[in-house]
Chains A and B, each alone.
Chain A
Amino acid sequence: MDRTEMLAAIARIETLPSFPDVLLRFQNEMSNDTPDISKLAAIVEDDPSLAARFLKAVNSAYYSRTKPISSISQAINRLGLVETRRLAITTALVDRYRSFGGMVPQFFWTHSIAVALTSRSILELGTHSLNDEQKDAAYLACLLHDIGVIVLFHLFEHEFTLEYNKQINAGGISIENETEQFGINHPEAGEALAKNWNLPEVLYDPIRFHHTPSQAPDSSQTLCRLVHLADFVCNNLGISRLETRIATEFDESAFEEFHLSLQQVPDIIENVKVQAQAAESLVTLS
C-alpha cells in the first residue's frame, strides 16, 4: 500500500477501541463559564472501572501527600479541574488500551505518560511563552505522541513486530525504515488516527512531527519541539518503548527553544526520574 491508501485505511479503521469520550465530555463541561463539579465528577463515575482506577491513581504516592481521597468530586477540589481531566484521560487510555498487537503495553504507556509528565518539568526548568491552553495541549500531545504505533501494530501485526525487532537489533528505530516498509511511519499514522478520532486539532502537528520538529509549521513548532525533547530525555533514562536501543541524538533546536543549558542536565534527569516513577505507578495500578 502507498501512503494515500494507508491514510485512507486508517481513516476507515473501526476495529480499534474508540478514544475514551472523557476528553470531549470534560471539554464541553469545562467550556461553560461555571463548570459544574458534580457533572464533571459524573463523567468519571459513569464508568466504574475508570472511577476505581482514577481513585487509585489520585491516592498514589505521586498525587497524594495528605489524607486519602474517597470521591471524584473531592479529587476535583483537591487537584483542580485541569489536573483531574489529565488524570482521567490518562487512566482511561491505559484502561482501554491494555493490550494491542505483540507489544508490551506497559512499556508503551509508561513511556507515554513519563513523556507527558516530563514535558511539564521541561517547561518549569526552561523558559517559554506557552499559555495555559497550549500547556494543556502539550500534556495530551506527549501522552499521545506514539499512538501511530498502535495503528501500525493493528494493521500489520506480525510484520510490524518483525520490523520492530529488526530495527532494535540494527541499533535503532528509524521512521525512514517504517515509511519504506509500510508506506507510512508512526508519526504520520498517529496524526491520521488523531483525525479519525476527532481529537483537538492542536494535537495533530506535535504527533506528526515529534521526530522531526524543525519540519513542523512555525505555529506548532514549540509544541513539536517540546514533545521531541521530552521523548529524548525519557529515552535517555531507558524509559523507552523500545527495549534495548535508546536514541542518542535530538534536534538541537529543541534544547534551544526552551533556553535550557547543559548545567541543567542533572536537574532535568532528577526530575524525570520522579516523573518516571509516577508514570510507572499509574500504569501498574491493578
Chain B
Amino acid sequence: MKIKITDKEFLILKEYIETHCGIALRNTQKYLFESRLSKLVAEHRCNNFTEFSQLIHSGKVNGLQEKIVNAMTTNETLWFRDNHPWQAFSEHILPTWASQITESNMSPRIWSAASSTGQEAYSISMLIHEYARLQRHPSLLQNIEIVGTDISTSALYVAISGNYDEISMTRGFIPPWDQLKTRYFTHRGRVWEINPECKKLTRFRHFNLQETFRSLGKFDMICLRNVIIYFADDFKRELFRKMESSLNPGGYLLLGASETPIRYTDNFKSIKLGISTYYQLKG
C-alpha cells in the first residue's frame, strides 16, 4: 500500500533527510519516498507524510532516523561484490601485507564501512584464510583484523550471527569463489553458517558514518562501497575528509563500482591493481 506524498510534504521531508541522514534526493525522486517510506509511515500509525514529518521532528521515537536510512538505502549486498577488486586484493594487497608482517610485524586493519549483513567482511576473511593456507603464512591470521560497521541493527545481527539462507548464498558465489562455500561454511538445516575461524578475524559494531571516525582507530584498508551514492555532496566531502585521517600511510580505499572521489577531494590518487581501481592518499 502506497501513501501519496504532496510536493510540500516532499520538500519538508527531503530537507530533514538531507541534513539528518545525509541522504541526497533529487526533486524527481518523490516516488522513492512513496515506495520506500510508505511502510514506515503506516508502521508508525501515521495517516500521511505530514503526520510522519511531525513525528520525526517531535523526536519522540527512538531510532526513527536509522529506520529511515534503512528504508532509503536498503541492505542489498552480495558475496565478492564486483569480483575483480577481490582478485586484486589477493594478488597485490595481501602479498604486500604478508611480507610487511614478516619484516616489521605490521598488523593490518580493514574496515568494511556500511557492512550491511556482513558479506563483504566475510568475503575478505575467506580470502585471507585462503592466502594463509595456500602460501603457508599462518601468521597472517594472527595479525589481521576486519571491522564491520553499519547503522542497521538488524543487518548487524545477521552479520554477527554469520547465518545465511539459501538465496543469499546463491548471490555472488560464482567461480572462482564457489569453492570457498564448502570450505568456509557449515550447511546446517536450512542455513549456511560461516565457520568460526572466519568469524574470528571480524568484529561488528553499530556505527553511523555521520559520527567522527576517531573511535574506530586507523586502518590499512577502507571499503566504503555502494553507500555514498545515496549521500548529499557535503556529506560525501565530509566522508572523504574523515577517511583521509583514518588511513595509515600506504593504506587503500576501495569504493563501489560507480563511485569516485573526483569532485569531493583532491587528496586521493587512483591506482590500478590488476584491472581494478583502488585509491591511496597522495604524497
Contacts and interface: CB of A to CB of B under 8 A. Distances in A.
Interface of A: 171, 176, 212, 214-215, 232, 236-240, 243-246, 248-253, 255-256, 262, 265-266, 269
A249 B154 contact: yes
B196 to A, nearest CB: 11
29 contacts: A214-B44, A215-B42, A215-B44, A215-B45, A232-B154, A232-B157, A236-B191, A238-B188, A238-B189, A238-B191, A240-B190, A243-B190, A244-B190, A245-B166, A248-B75, A248-B154, A248-B155, A249-B70, A249-B75, A249-B152, A252-B63, A252-B66, A252-B153, A252-B154, A253-B61, A262-B156, A262-B205, A265-B157, A265-B160
Contacts of B160: 262, 265-266
B167 interface: yes
A243 B191 CA distance: 10
Contacts of B44: 214-215
Contacts of B96: none
Contact of A246 (B42, B70, B154, B191): B191
B43 A255 contact: no
B63 A253 contact: yes
Interface in B39-83: 42-45, 61-63, 66-67, 70, 75
B117 A248 contact: yes
Contacts of A266: 160
Contacts of A245: 165-167
B262 interface: no
A112 B45 CA distance: 28
Contacts of B63: 252-253, 256
B62 to A, nearest CB: 6
Contact of B190 (A246, A249, A252): A246
B134 interface: no
Contacts of A240: 190
A252 B155 CA distance: 10
Given A236-B163, A248-B117, A256-B63, 9 more contacts: A171-B167, A215-B44, A238-B189, A244-B165, A246-B165, A248-B75, A248-B165, A249-B75, A269-B161
Nearest to A240: B190
Nearest to B158: A248
Nearest to B160: A265
B84 interface: no
B157 A250 contact: yes
A210 B51 CA distance: 24
Contacts of B168: 248
A238 B165 contact: yes
Interface residues of B, number: 34
Contact of B154 (A212, A238, A255): A255
B252 interface: no
B1 interface: yes
B81 to A, nearest CB: 16
B235 interface: no
B40 to A, nearest CB: 8
Contacts of A239: 189
A13 to B, nearest CB: 27
Contact of B43 (A214, A238, A262): A214
B204 interface: yes
Contacts of A251: 43
A246 B163 CA distance: 10
Nearest to A262: B156
A106 to B, nearest CB: 12
Contacts of A215: 42-45
B75 A262 contact: no
A256 B62 contact: yes
A255 B43 CA distance: 16
Contacts of A248: 75, 117, 154-155, 158, 165, 168
Interface string B159-187: 01101011110000000000000000000
B157 A236 contact: yes
A178 to B, nearest CB: 13
Which 3 pairs, one residue from A and one from B, show the smallest C-beta to C-beta distance?
A: A238-B190, A238-B191, A244-B166
Contact of A262 (B67, B157, B165): B157
Contacts of B133: none
B186 to A, nearest CB: 12
Nearest to A244: B166
A256 B155 CA distance: 14
Contacts of A255: 153-154, 157
B155 to A, nearest CB: 7
A253 B188 CA distance: 30
Contacts of B191: 236-238, 246
